[in-house]
Chain A
């Protein structure tokens, strides 16, 4: 990788992005937001007109593209063992700053330490990330609470900044520049591109104005046995909406699907909100009730992960705020913790 600073990379203005989308879609490698029943989703797209860059955050995060809900690790039959081919290349267009910020967190889990996840890393490696600066935060968005912003685009190969009715496109890596070389558009002076980027970086988010993280991890150090957990867990449905739509949740289970002499080992998402998550073979369950499970999820995100990696395991994407049918989302819990510290 060459060491060009982002500011020195190429930037162009695209009045009309459709020709670019058409070219990408024709290449068969494009994954982008499309409209689906009740919202948006990242899907592999063959026709450019399906791409919806006017989307708001997808119901599911794009983590599935790197850490699929079900992934065959190997299969076997009488003839031997077969390991699936590593994933092919893809261009993920339209990833938002919040989801982009979730990837380095997943990288730590799957890509650091003695056990590295080859499937995950291969998909990360082979994905070109074309981020879009966020021009439509929802009422539930609070990435700014985590020091991020609608203009936080670190880690993207290329960024689309919605600007003046079109897009200002800026490469951030060599891969981004390579992709951009095929794109039309008039070159933009570095200073102009930086001004647009800075404008997005200084944008606020609706819920971000309200959710304050100061002292939350520290306060939680002493709150394992706090009665607050009992109160807030009372309404939990024990469903997996929050964990499955979350861009940073990454728990999984392994399952063997066998029939006769053939079978496969599959890795599937799991959720700490399910009672079976910690149920042991003998029937004992160390997290027997909703209180223990709800506490685990939020302690992990707001305390354990911080202690281990010095970062919160949340990017403020607002999906749990939108989707939790009973309002037991992380913003609510952060405020509840702040409420406890304020009273103390």
Chain B
């Protein structure tokens, strides 16, 4: 898609000395799951790719270079750029130490959906509102809606608005029907006991690998309560109460701060629907505190401020 453009950008930036490292994507064994790749020399630019499977959000890696010299260039899609905005708002990253190579994102594909539509899929190209998948099994033309990641179907921010350079023309956002709201509403329609049973079942699969926390741009504390030995907030024992504690606290710690990038859900090896937790909080934040687009980081986060006339439910 934009592989040539990203290689050229990396080469130029590293050669000119504008940046000392460049964070992009490189192909994995499976071309449908490219992984994050750090390069530091212009000749390594050949390794980079930028295609319709580059889902990983690279923003969080910027924390790794917090104490290292030099400017870091990073390839960010619209959603990833919100992750950077989060880190900037939290004062974890200085803007002048980052060079944002923005990708106006046409949407990233869900590798599982793609593989289901065309087993052995290797590549995809966009053609209008369709994607053409190619692979060992031949070629197949599918509607964007069938193969895009769920998050991309409702993307409101495909183009980073704070990029130092853009790889292509800005892309308009898709109208946001907020289908996630339907998932939250379905849970809300259950009885309390049904919800309890639902979450107990979901959380019981959790292996506590912490990938959801580690990938999250909003989970950027220098030390985390889950790692604390004393006091021990979270037992390593994976019983029901501890699983509930972990998921409750993880979600609440990013309440009003989640940028809706869906990375937690994407990396979860056990497919726990973490965004159903995040979306519930996002909706409540917007509704209770009369905010719009609460997933966009702002100067002061919704829970870091108050209004004397906030709803009074506590008497």
Contacts and interface: CB of A to CB of B under 8 A. Distances in A.
Interface of A: 36-39, 41, 59-60, 69-70, 139-140, 207, 210, 231, 234-235, 237-241, 244-245, 253, 255, 257, 266, 268-271, 274-276, 290, 321, 323, 325-328, 331-332
B36 A326 contact: yes
B215 A237 contact: yes
Contacts of B36: 234-235, 326-327
Given A244-B207, A268-B236, A321 B29 contact: yes
Contact of A239 (B33, B209, B235): B209
**4 closest residue pairs by CB, A with B:** A327-B35, A38-B271, A239-B211, A325-B267
Interface in B92-129: 120
A36 B205 contact: yes
Contacts of B304: none
A37 B207 contact: no
B44 to A, nearest CB: 9
Contacts of A69: 207, 238
B209 A328 contact: no
Contacts of B38: 231, 234-235
B43 to A, nearest CB: 14
Contacts of A38: 270-271
A238 B214 contact: yes
Interface string B220-232: 0000000101000
B93 to A, nearest CB: 17
B271 A240 contact: no
Contact of B29 (A140, A245, A326): A140
A36 B207 CA distance: 14
A88 B71 CA distance: 59
A76 to B, nearest CB: 16
**Majority secondary structure, B binding face:** loop
Given A140-B30, A234-B61, A327-B35, 13 more contacts: A37-B270, A41-B205, A69-B207, A69-B238, A139-B29, A140-B29, A234-B36, A237-B214, A237-B267, A239-B210, A253-B236, A266-B237, A326-B56
A241 B29 contact: no
Interface in B33-70: 33-38, 56, 61, 64
B209 A331 contact: no
Given A69-B207, A244-B209, A239 B267 contact: yes
B237 A255 contact: yes
B42 to A, nearest CB: 16
B138 interface: no
Nearest to A327: B35
B34 to A, nearest CB: 8
B61 A235 contact: yes
Contacts of B209: 239-241, 244, 271
A221 B34 CA distance: 30
A96 B258 CA distance: 40
A255 B236 contact: yes
Contact of A241 (B34, B227, B269): B269
Nearest to A234: B38
Contacts of B271: 36-39, 59
A255 B207 contact: no
A37 B205 contact: yes
B266 interface: yes
B237 A275 contact: no
Nearest to A252: B236
Contacts of A238: 210, 214
A237 B211 contact: yes
Contacts of A325: 56, 211, 215, 266-267
A39 B270 CA distance: 8
B267 A240 contact: no
B175 interface: no
Contacts of B214: 237-239
Given A70-B237, A268-B236, A235 B207 contact: no
A69 B243 CA distance: 13
Interface string B169-204: 000000000000000000000000000000000100
Contact of B236 (A235, A266, A290, A331): A266
A70 B236 contact: yes
Nearest to A235: B36
A239 B273 CA distance: 18
A118 B270 CA distance: 30
A244 B206 CA distance: 11
Given A255-B235, A257-B237, A268-B237, A327 B205 contact: no
5 contacts: A37-B270, A140-B29, A240-B211, A290-B64, A326-B56
Nearest to B239: A70
Contacts of A331: 29
Contacts of B37: 235
B308 interface: no
B208 interface: yes
